[in-house]
């Protein structure tokens, strides 16, 4: 997709010293994160943290040029005028002002009840992957992470079939996907099929095979995040077809296909509802719905005992 065929955003952040910084981006939340990591702009590097205060959206055609012009005009305004425009919430140039709730939906990070590790917080399952391959060494690190997952009786019941974009294996894996999955996953630079060996030895079932394979996959997924590589697991594929195509033995079960890649632009996804799904807010049940104490359904910690040390 060309620069001008996708949406561009003009954003304003308030720096730690109270000054305003204006920029343009296709992914505002990623840009704000970059500013806060000291990788955004020289100006913001010394004035962190920054807080997003306003966003305007510029649609195609010519979104990039429109956003650039709007940015230049906005930057030339006196501070008081900038503050008035931000406060009123009006459109700017050809850009439509985006409300606060809408930019929070651009942020895919987990909105946690309690603090968690950054790799877990940042992980999510995108469908848009960048047109950038994953180095073999990096991919081997992901598989190494899977290798060191725990498993019942250390049976290590997992196996992986790895398909790099452009190879026959990738094509075959893509051909096994069902539903909407092929629409986006076939563009991922890497597809991996996770398989579980269901028996310790002939006739001796491994009841934890699926559980342990899932753990190995999660190790891979979290290790991937450490390289800024995102994973999207899929149960939507034809298991029997995969078994036949890859000659997977009877005592093994194809479990998931995992699309791996660097984060792409949601606007590059094929038309349909994929754009909206990519920007949907991520949700989870509250802890109180699945963490129990005295009995099944009895919330832990009980009301009044929440909040840690006394
Ligand atoms: C076992 C498994 C199967 C999944 N199957 C599909 C699938 O076929 N297609 C799809 O688009 N997403 C699939 N997903 C992704 C989930 O929909 C996704 O993980 C969930 O909505 C939570 O979103 P998050 O990973 O961004 O937190 C699957 C995930 C898992 C773990």
pLDDT of residue 5: 57
Q: Distance between CA 254 and CA 158 in Å, rounded?
A: 10
Q: Which atom of ligand 1 is nearest to the CA of 236?
A: 8
pLDDT of residue 292: 97
Q: Distance between CA 54 and CA 168 in Å, rounded?
A: 47
Among protein residues, the one whose CA lies closest to atom 13 of ligand 1: 234
Q: b/e for 12-39, b at 16 or more Cβ within 10 A?
A: bbbbeeeebbbbbbbbbbebbbbbeeee
Task: Find the mean pLDDT for residues 37-62.
Answer: 90
The CB of 176 under 6 Å from ligand 1? The reply is: no
In this prediction, residue 61 has a pLDDT band, given cuts at 50, 70 and 90, of confident
Over residues 196-242, the pLDDT tens digits come to 999 999 999 999 999 999 999 999 999 999 999 999 999 999 999 99
pLDDT of residue 134: 97
Over residues 247-272, the pLDDT tens digits come to 999 999 999 999 999 988 787 888 78
What six digits make up the tokens of 236?
């939507």
**Distance from residue 236's CA to the centre of ligand 1 (Å):** 9
What six digits make up the tokens of 3?
């620069």
pLDDT of residue 302: 92
| Burial class (CB within 10 angstroms; exposed 0-12, middle 13-18, buried 19+) of 224 | buried
pLDDT of residue 236: 98
pLDDT of residue 223: 98
Average confidence score pLDDT of the chain: 91
The CB of 175 under 6 Å from ligand 1? The reply is: no
Tell whether the model's pLDDT for residue 310 goes beyond 50. no
Probe residue for ligand 1, chosen from 120, 216, 222, 232 as the CB with the greatest number of ligand atoms within 8 Å:
232
What are the phi and psi torsion angles at 21 (to 5°)?
A: -125, 135
The CB of 233 under 6 Å from ligand 1? The reply is: yes
Q: Which atom of ligand 1 is nearest to the CA of 217?
A: 31
pLDDT of residue 101: 65
In this prediction, residue 99 has a pLDDT band, given cuts at 50, 70 and 90, of confident
pLDDT of residue 309: 43
Q: Which atom of ligand 1 is nearest to the CA of 178?
A: 8
DSSP 281: P
The pairing of strands 8-14 and 51-58 is antiparallel
Tell whether the model's pLDDT for residue 104 goes beyond 80. no
137 CA to centre of own chain: 22
Q: For each of the domains in the chain, give its residue range(s) and CATH number, in order of start.
A: 3-107 (3.40.1440), 136-279 (3.40.109.10)
Of 205, 164, 208, residue with least CA distance to 187: 164
DSSP 147: H
């Amino acid at each position: 997709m060309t620069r001008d065929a996708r949406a561009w955003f003009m954003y304003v952040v308030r720096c730690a010293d109270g000054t305003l910084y204006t920029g343009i981006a296709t992914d505002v939340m990623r840009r704000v994160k970059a500013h806060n990591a000291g990788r955004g702009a020289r100006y913001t590097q010394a004035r962190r943290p920054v807080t997003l205060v306003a966003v305007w959206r510029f649609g195609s055609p010519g979104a990039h040029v429109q956003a650039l012009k709007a940015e230049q005009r906005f930057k030339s305004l006196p501070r008081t005028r900038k503050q008035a425009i931000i406060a009123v919430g009006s459109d700017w140039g050809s850009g439509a002002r985006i409300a606060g709730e809408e930019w929070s939906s651009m942020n895919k990070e987990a909105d946690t009840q309690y603090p968690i590790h950054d790799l877990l917080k940042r992980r999510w399952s995108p469908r848009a992957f960048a047109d950038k391959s994953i180095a073999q060494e990096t991919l081997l690190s992901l598989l190494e992470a899977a290798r060191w997952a725990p498993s019942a009786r250390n049976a290590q019941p997992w196996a992986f079939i790895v398909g790099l974009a452009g190879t026959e294996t990738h094509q075959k894996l893509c051909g096994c996907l069902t539903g909407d999955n092929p629409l986006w996953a076939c563009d991922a630079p890497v597809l991996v099929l996770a398989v579980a060996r269901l028996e310790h030895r002939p006739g001796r079932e491994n009841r934890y095979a699926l559980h342990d394979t899932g753990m190995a996959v999660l190790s891979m997924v979290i290790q991937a995040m450490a390289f800024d590589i995102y994973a999207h697991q899929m149960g939507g594929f034809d298991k029997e077809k995969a078994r036949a195509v890859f000659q997977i033995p009877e005592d093994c079960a194809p479990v998931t296909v995992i699309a791996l890649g660097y984060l792409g632009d949601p606007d590059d996804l094929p038309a349909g509802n994929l754009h909206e799904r990519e920007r949907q807010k991520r949700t989870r049940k509250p802890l109180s719905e699945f963490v129990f104490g005295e009995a099944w359904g009895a919330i832990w910690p009980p009301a009044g005992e929440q909040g840690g040390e006394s």
